[in-house]
Structure 1
Amino acid sequence: MTVQWILAIILLILMVSVGGKKGARSFIALFLNFGVFLFVLLFMNDPDINPIILTLIACILISCISLFYISEYNIKTLTAFISTIVTTAVLLFFILMLTEISMIQGFSEEEIEEIGAFSLFVGVDFVKIGASMILMSTIGAIIDLSISISSPMKEIHFHHPDISRKDLFRSGIALGRDILGTSTNTLFFAFFGGYMALLIWFKDLSYSLGEIVNSKVFSSEMIFIGSAGIGVALAIPITAWITAYFLMRKRDKRIEG
């Protein structure tokens, strides 16, 4: 038995022990989302397929799996799903603009030796590929933040059914503020933790601080982190407003009925 299987079994046992049925669904959702990721990779290099459209479809599938499959269909998962899609669509405009202006697409000079034996005419738009990478890296954090806001807001509305939409929205914003700091830190360390070897390589190449900061690889990572932070920040008011709107509309329909 390989180490990967042992880790998977330990993870399954822990998730089922702690989360019960929902923990088992979460474990299965990991593999389903991994399947969506493989689907994106297989079709990303097809020049006839727009990477942005493909990534948006993948984000919708990942959101459905992470929300509706794990927590089932209800008002909080519905509002979190809508908030995730709206936030992703708004974030896409920032990402396309940043990747176009910063010109971080393509390969960096540090990668010349590794790709020297291959043809550079791959026939794909690296601006769109870069935007797709940022979206795929950010979608998990946006989903997590959206459900973390919509679920407590639903509980607040349940225990205080007479609360106004404005006060409920303010409660959602207050919840988001508490989550914002930890979410951005999580994204920051996740990105830089994955590129720790690159930073060590920069040190071995005797790069100065200025060369590191101005390198294409470092700049792209900073743009990734900044875009992810923008997505997380945007998700807070969007989720708070959408959740408050749906909960109030549901209450009004119940009163009228």
Structure 2
Amino acid sequence: MSVLVCLAVILFILMKFVGGEKGTRSFIALFLNFGVTFATMLLMGSKNNPIIITLIACTVISCINLFYINNVSIKSIAAFISTMITLVLLVSVIFILVEMSMIQGFGIEEIEELNSFTLYIGIDFAKVAVCTIIMGTIGAITDTAISISSAMNEISIHNPLIDRFGLFKSGMNVGRDILGTTTNTLYFAFIGGYLALILWFKDLSYSLGEVVNSKVFSSEIISIFCIGTGAILIIPITAWLTAYILSKDQNITPKNKLTSE
């Protein structure tokens, strides 16, 4: 426990030193997001509709990450709307993928550990699989959305004569740079989190085909593809919406924009 406290203190000091007030808010937001996630799991365990609960939780998490950390501003509003649009588009795609791939439930590798437990708990595992992917997506798309909208807002401030198309093009260029690092982040997060699983597959003498077709491996790969799809979709949506909002409000001068932040 003392190690966790020390690490938390170090993290807070670094975030405060580097990020200032926003760093402090980001640190507090970690605990707020944990509280929302924990409450979501409790509500899902109470046999409520997990999809609706997850979507509400994702909306609250987006508000915390965008409005609490960055305050209510043009860039945070544009990022929030873009996040909601992308989330709605993804939900239908995730439903179809989970239904076709049948990744819900547990894999054969986990059966031995679950033999002493009953699986009749009154929860639809297909919906749980959808909720898992949605929760994994929300962090990536909010991060990408605020990065693009914030950069476009700065461009608009320092170049108020830029037109809507030029602003949109700048946002797309920023998004393309972010996309490369996001996909690599997803890949290494998977490898780091499931390195022990890969070693276990090796000890079980699984062939490459058995590894690829195992439910545990397939569910994570599909999650990465869904999160990556969300990270791609959020780029043009945020770029267009932010360009539309910034160019529409022609009466806001650079000075007023700075004070509104």
TM over 0.5: yes
Aligned partner of 2:207 in structure 1 is 208
1: CA distance, partners of 2:44 / 2:185: 27
Aligned partner of 2:146 in structure 1 is 147
Aligned partner of 2:102 in structure 1 is 103
Structure 1 vs Structure 2: percent identity of aligned residues? 60
- Unmatched tracts of structure 2, length 5 or more: 254-261
Aligned partner of 2:66 in structure 1 is 67
Matches within 5 A, 1:56-205: 56-205=55-204
Residue-by-residue CA offset, 1:191-233 (whole Å, 9 max, x unaligned): 2211111111111111111110111111111101100110000
Aligned partner of 1:12 in structure 2 is 12
Aligned partner of 1:37 in structure 2 is 37
1: CA distance, partners of 2:191 / 2:38: 23
2: CA distance, partners of 1:129 / 1:43: 12
The answer on whether the counterparts of 1:46 and 1:124 sit within 8 Å (CA) in structure 2 is no
Shift of 1:147: 0.6
State the secondary structure of the residue aligned to 1:223.
helix
2: CA distance, partners of 1:229 / 1:167: 26
Aligned partner of 2:52 in structure 1 is 53
2: CA distance, partners of 1:84 / 1:68: 13
Q: Which runs of 4+ in 1 moved over 3 A?
A: none
1:22 aligns with 2:22: yes
Residue-by-residue CA offset, 1:119-168 (whole Å, 9 max, x unaligned): 11121111111111011112111111001100110111112222221121
1: CA distance, partners of 2:239 / 2:114: 46
2: CA distance, partners of 1:13 / 1:215: 43
The answer on whether the counterparts of 1:142 and 1:231 sit within 8 Å (CA) in structure 2 is yes
Residue-by-residue CA offset, 1:17-73 (whole Å, 9 max, x unaligned): 1111111111111000000010111111232x2111111111111111111111111
The answer on whether the counterparts of 1:83 and 1:235 sit within 8 Å (CA) in structure 2 is yes
Q: Which amino acid letter does the alignment assign opposite residue 24 of structure 2?
A: A
State the secondary structure of the residue aligned to 1:251.
coil
Q: Could you say what the CA RMSD is over the residues aligned between the two structures, in angstroms?
A: 1.3
Q: How many residues align?
A: 253
Aligned partner of 1:3 in structure 2 is 3
2: CA distance, partners of 1:168 / 1:21: 29
Question: What is the TM-score when the length of structure 2 is the normalising length?
Answer: 0.94
1: CA distance, partners of 2:189 / 2:27: 21
Q: Which amino acid letter does the alignment assign opposite residue 153 of structure 1?
A: M
- Unmatched tracts of structure 1, length 5 or more: none
Q: Which amino acid letter does the alignment assign opposite residue 67 of structure 2?
A: F
Q: Which amino acid letter does the alignment assign opposite residue 7 of structure 1?
A: L
State the secondary structure of the residue aligned to 2:65.
helix
2: CA distance, partners of 1:189 / 1:138: 16
Question: What is the TM-score when the length of structure 1 is the normalising length?
Answer: 0.95
